[in-house]
Amino acid sequence: MADLHIDFAGIKSKNPFWLASGPPTNTGYQVQRAFDAGWGGAVWKTLGDPVINVTSRFSGLNYGGQRVAGFNNIELITDRPLEVNLREIRETKRAYPDHAIIASLMVEPKQEKWHEIVKRVEDVGVDGLELNFGCPHGMAERGMGSASGQVPELVEKQTYWTKEAAETPVIVKLTPNITDITATAYAAAQGGADAISMINTINSLMGVDLDTWNTIPNVAGKGTHGGYCGPAVKPIALSMVAECATQPDIPVPISGIGGIENWQDAAEFMLMGASSVQVCTAAMHHGFRIVEDMIDGLNNYLDEKGLASVSDLVGRSVSKYKKWGDLDLNHKVVARINQDYCIHCNKCHIACEDAAHQCIEFYTESDGTRALKVREQDCVGCNLCSIVCPAEGAIDMIDQPSDVSMTWNERQRLISTFGG
């Protein structure tokens, strides 16, 4: 069995699976249940001045028969007194000394506020701090959360203030509601952050009820924007992790968050540079015991790949992530239909005719039946036919590499040197 232990910026954990700050980490009871189930760590629900939350506050996006393909919430930080949270953190850490407990923090952008809460939280024995600069609703209107997280100067300054008082590692949680997340990641690193985590939720409105015309969710007929998470945000989160992992001037470890539901998702984040992963929506949907399959699945995967430790997986795909201008323009891929698996639904033909390059056509086989084939000389390898095909194995995308590679950047350099 591979070694799943991690040392994330000085925070030791028996495995890389942590619960993200949110409803599942609201109380000591919940965090202890999670540790009993096998989670390696937990980021406590964000602490600060307690708020008054509203009801209702959650909504789910169901798509194609899958429930909670996306999830939206308008819940804010803890609504329980700081003293109660601190007592439960202390009790939980004493009962589970080998598990990582990280305190998520959010206060006004004032130096004395950060110093005060850091000292109070560290006194109860947390293993690390996570600065919540990501919440896009409610707290942002009060100058905190993403309102701070969208301004690199505020990220750097508040990180620096925290580091002035902190004795444990400081993780900065970044908002995705920004044009370039590397700008705030760099600011966090400049402020002295020991690590970064991403992504927090995406600003969103889940929907509108067509009968009542109320937003979803609504509070007494009124609604607001909220934070979007769940499986639907995974590609966005993965891209942002990759963007930061490829930057040499952001030399801090990354905790990956966003749509992680199983060990495969976790492995993808690790391949793209995340050293730990955090899960929230999936635990809310399926319960804490999903971590059992995550642990077993990742263990088996590492064994299959011949890797002795989960740390050996981290970043293996980072070098493969490039800017568009560095991709080979001469590389060609074509679609090929496997008649043994084709169910003759014609979806590939319709998609290609209406939305792609009109290179899939009908022909008559020797027994008189009609079938589909690809005119490979006209196929641009867009993948659309294989994406819409409902029959596994019916369409293969075949690589046809060129003898000579040529990227757009190389082409532009040649034009600049020798003329058009």
Q: Which of 158, 198, 191 minimizes the C-alpha distance to 175? A: 198
Answer whether 205's CB lies under 8 Å from 262's CB: no
The active-site residue, picked from 135, 352, 359, 389, is: 135
345: three-class secondary structure by DSSP: coil
CB-neighbour burial class of residue 57 (10 A; exposed 0-12, middle 13-18, buried 19+): middle
DSSP state of 125: T
Answer whether 307's CB lies under 8 Å from 47's CB: no
181-190 vs 152-165: helix crossing angle, rounded to 10: 30
At 160, phi and psi to the nearest 5? -60, -45
Contacts of 76 (CB under 8 A, 6+ apart): 51, 53, 135, 137, 138, 139
Q: What angle do CA 154, 156, 162 make, to 5 degrees?
A: 100
Active-site annotation holds for 135: yes
Answer whether 34's CB lies under 8 Å from 295's CB: no
> What are the C-alpha distances in Å from 230 to residues 15, 77, 369, 372?
22, 19, 45, 38
Q: Which of 206, 137, 154, 147 minimizes the C-alpha distance to 178? A: 147
Quick one: tokens of 220?
Answer: 């007494």
Quick one: tokens of 289?
Answer: 């015991």
Strands 360-364 and 370-374 turn out to be antiparallel
DSSP state of 97: T
Other CB atoms within 10 Å distance of the CB of residue 410 = 14
DSSP letter for each residue of 199-265: --PEEE--EE-TTT--EES-BTTB---EEEESGGGHHHHHHHHHHHHT-TT--S-EEEESS--SHHH
User: Length of the chain, please?
Assistant: 420
Active-site residue numbers? 135
